[in-house]
Amino acid sequence: MKGYKDCVLRVDLASKNITKEPLNRDYIKQYLGGEGYGIALLWDEMPHTADAFSPENILSFNTGPLTGTPTPSASRTSVVFMSPLTSTIGAANMGSHFGAELKFAGYDSIVFTGRSENPVYLFIDNDTVELRPADHLWGLDTRQTTEKLKEEIGSEFKISCIGQAGEMLSKLACIFSDDCFAGRGGAGAVMGHKHLKAVAVRGTGSVEVADKDAFLEFNKTAIQELRSEVYTWGPVHGYGTPAWLGGVNEYGLMPTRNFRSNVFEDMEPLMPHNLWNDTGRFTVRRRACYACQLGCHKYVTMGDVEVGELEYETIAAFGPRCGVSDYPSIAMANYYATLYGIDTISAGATVSAAMELFEEGLIGLKETDGLELKFGNGEAMAELVRRMGLREGVGGDLFADGSWHAVKRIGQEAEKFAMTVKGMEISATDPRGSSSMSIAFGTSERGACHMRPYAATIDGFGYLFPDLEINEPKNPFDDNESKVWLKAVKEYFVVTNLIGICDFNVINTEMHPTTLAALYSAVTGIETDKLELLRKAERVIALERALNYKRGFRRGDDRLPKRFMHEPAQSGPPAGRVVDMETALDRYYEACGYDREKAVPTKETFETLGMGDVYRKLK
């Protein structure tokens, strides 16, 4: 079993006890690794209804078997936990060079249990693993924490840490690793609750590959698949994810002013060339994650301000969603979100909801501490993000936990303005323009997430994916169309989280599942085909749904906010369209073999997956 390091680091933060153990072979066989490994731990070891902010919550950092190899984008670490934002499973996936370093140090996963009484950080230098005091780091922002740690222990260490937002238990808090983020669901707040400020790792060991020659051959195939997709290897490779802004807007998929509209009329200033070419104000440099061909990750500076990564979702959230069309405001909002460590998607969406609440008169200057929170006010937008990151003032505290938790505090009338599913803010695709995205946002096990899967590529933009049996174009406006294809795409996206590569290698149907299966086989020596990979992902999704079910989640929680069912899309191709959510859910549950009301796999589906034991525990 090459590729895997066959070593899990167990860190009990309460007793400060650190142990090492081999990988659970059943987990690898059933769930492959990565996100699947973390979810299996939650299912087996955590009381299923445990509060996210309790010592019982288990926080794990999980690499995949391909992490650390030269497979394109084999950088990924899946952070798994129970989410304080949604109360569902939490699974946030990050790039950077952290995951590869963890593998070189000799570990597949780090599993944190319990809660420390005082702030600590985990120090890993190959075999040496220590919990060290972090009182001197507590209160520092993400960049300060990283710099201070590197000064103390060496610049070659790779650091994952939280900022002040995580310390103050903001439910939007993320984990920062060199301007990459385990962003969604409040992983940073779980670290903060556990008083775990950072993890620092250095590794000089090896990741072994079972069949080097086969790997090198299939890796060239994978690279060729990436480089022959014109959109991926052209604009996205050039500008990064902001290359999506223009196309998404043209197809009527751009959330605008809290989804009041689906096309932003002032997009031109936000087109990525206007950022890159504005050399008087901005410097943009490439800064790729480990082994990444695509290199979407960029580092932006604006004068003295180290803005950091500006990507599609961030620009869309702070830009069109808030009616803002100037890069300096968006850059400042991103800067604050990065420093204090909050998810930019949810942060932008929350400001957007706050703006609508302000315009509708449901909150006033008292709640915003004097900010004129009108759509289009970029300065106010960035300032609210700053205050949210630090929980500063009435508004900063009110919105620090995201829009859903804010509207709950404001009152029932406000609830319709939270564009969330399960409490997580919908990311930058308007579901009225893509039936598959209605389902993806609705049924995502971690709340409205754009990566479970991003399927607008297929039904919105018209891509085919023969290796996943998608040979005909799909209708983005037909909620009654079979969604068997969507099940396959979702499973393939989840495969990337298990195996340790980035979704951006499959999002435009680039890397074929057959190629990925060949790479997995070559690295691990475990003969696997694409159907088996998809089957493992199907199991992980089933286990996630089972865990959510035990926490009370049902069909009703898989619905989009009412706006999408009652307010038609304003313009662009989907103009006039609303979502028929019940029909869409029926088609998807059918495709997956789920019970229509319970929204979990049926007994037969569980048994087909070899998960009868999980079904029996649902009772």
Partner 1 sequence: MIPGVVKVLTNARACQGCRACEAVCALKHFGVVNPQSTGVKIKESKEPGKFTQTICQQCIDMPCASVCPVGAIQRDGFTGAVAILDTCTGCGACEPACPIHAIQMTQVTEEVRAFKCDLCGGIPECVSICPRQALSW
| Element (DSSP H or E) covering residue 43 | helix 35-45
Closer to partner 1 by CB, 45 or 152: give it.
152
Closer to partner 1 by CB, 77 or 293: give it.
293
Residue with tokens 């920062």: 176
Would you give the binding string for partner 1 spanning residues 171-190, x where CB under 8 A is met? -------xx-----------
Pick out residues in 449-478 that bind partner 1 (CB under 8 A).
Answer: none
Pick out residues in 97-116 that bind partner 1 (CB under 8 A).
Answer: 97, 104
How far is 238 from 221, CA to CA, in rounded Å?
21
How far is 559 from 441, CA to CA, in rounded Å?
8
Closer to partner 1 by CB, 97 or 197: give it.
97
Pick out residues in 260-299 that bind partner 1 (CB under 8 A).
Answer: 285-295, 298-299
**Separation of CA 522 from chain center:** 28
Selection from 274, 284, 294 nearest residue 179 by Cα: 284
Closer to partner 1 by CB, 289 or 354: give it.
289
How far is 156 from 307, CA to CA, in rounded Å?
23
Would you give the binding string for partner 1 spanning residues 598-617, x where CB under 8 A is met? --------------------
Cβ of residue 191: shortest distance to partner 1, in angstroms? 23
Cβ of residue 75: shortest distance to partner 1, in angstroms? 8
With beta carbons less than 8 A apart as the criterion, state whether 460 and 489 touch.
Answer: no
With beta carbons less than 8 A apart as the criterion, state whether 86 and 33 touch.
Answer: no
How far is 329 from 186, CA to CA, in rounded Å?
24
Pick out residues in 563-592 that bind partner 1 (CB under 8 A).
Answer: none
Bridge partners of residue 109, in order along the sequence: 8, 62
Cβ of residue 283: shortest distance to partner 1, in angstroms? 8
Give the tokens for residue 528.
């696997």
Cβ of residue 298: shortest distance to partner 1, in angstroms? 8
Cβ of residue 338: shortest distance to partner 1, in angstroms? 12
Cβ of residue 404: shortest distance to partner 1, in angstroms? 34
- Residue 498 backbone phi and psi in degrees, to 5: -80, -35
Selection from 158, 156, 161, 123 nearest residue 139 by Cα: 161
Fill in the amino acid letter for 259. Answer: F
Cβ of residue 142: shortest distance to partner 1, in angstroms? 13
| # binding residues, partner 1 (CB under 8 A) | 37
Closer to partner 1 by CB, 10 or 227: give it.
227
Cβ of residue 285: shortest distance to partner 1, in angstroms? 3
Selection from 146, 196, 202, 191 nearest residue 16 by Cα: 196
Closer to partner 1 by CB, 6 or 208: give it.
208
Closer to partner 1 by CB, 298 or 487: give it.
298
Closer to partner 1 by CB, 25 or 286: give it.
286
Pick out residues in 191-250 that bind partner 1 (CB under 8 A).
Answer: 203-209, 212, 215-216, 219-220, 223, 227, 237
When binding is defined by CB under 8 A, the residue of 6, 266, 306, 379 that contacts partner 1 is 306
With beta carbons less than 8 A apart as the criterion, state whether 187 and 60 touch.
Answer: no
**Separation of CA 39 from chain center:** 15
Pick out residues in 28-87 that bind partner 1 (CB under 8 A).
Answer: 68-70, 72
How far is 132 from 419, CA to CA, in rounded Å?
41
Closer to partner 1 by CB, 208 or 415: give it.
208
How far is 495 from 511, CA to CA, in rounded Å?
12
How far is 334 from 344, CA to CA, in rounded Å?
7
Residues at the contact surface with partner 1, assessed by CB under 8 A: 68-70, 72, 97, 104, 178-179, 203-209, 212, 215-216, 219-220, 223, 227, 237, 285-295, 298-299, 306
